[in-house]
Amino acid sequence: MPEPSDLAEPAPLPSLGTGARPGAWRDSIELRGLRFIGAHGALPDEAVRPQPFEVDLELIADLREAGRSDALEATVDYGELCEAVRAVIEGDHATLLEHLAEAVASRALAVAGERAIGVVVTVRKLRPPVPVALASAAVRICRP
């Protein structure tokens, strides 16, 4: 069995933006499995035929103040984040999942304001029009 002195210190998490402190723990607010209907895709009929999309959002933020104070003002309102995602998915047609993910990330960072250090967004098309059995097609992006 290794001695405690033989164990290496864990490496600090990388900084995702100007608000991150070197070696700081990465707190986050996670919203998983948000489902909305939207008309997005590269095929002509996808611009007019709504289909289901699923979004996962991880907002990287320092949550210590919220944890200490138990005050909504010290964090980011989950409902506002959900509505930001809804506005993108139910909004104007996008050809690419990449574009949807970028728009979701931008809106989420705008909602979070100074509290945000970064965001990770996954957008899934649950019924992609491909000629093989495929549960979903997805894009995942990380933005500071």
Q: Model-level pTM? A: 0.82
Q: How many domains does the chain have?
A: 1
Task: Please write the tens of the pLDDT for every residue from 45-54.
Answer: 999 999 999 9
Residue 11: pLDDT over 60: no
Q: At what angle do helices 97-112 and 78-89 cross, to 10 degrees?
A: 150
Residues 6 or more apart whose CB falls under 8 angstroms from that of 39 comprise 46, 47, 48, 49, 50, 51, 93
Give the domain CATH number at 18: 3.30.1130.10
Q: Respond yes or no: is residue 125 known to be catalytic.
A: yes
Domain containing 38 equals 4-143
**Taking Cα atoms as reference points, which of 79, 83, 84 lies closest to residue 103?**
84
Of 125, 133, 134, 143, the catalytic one is 125
Residues facing residue 29 across a β-bridge: 59
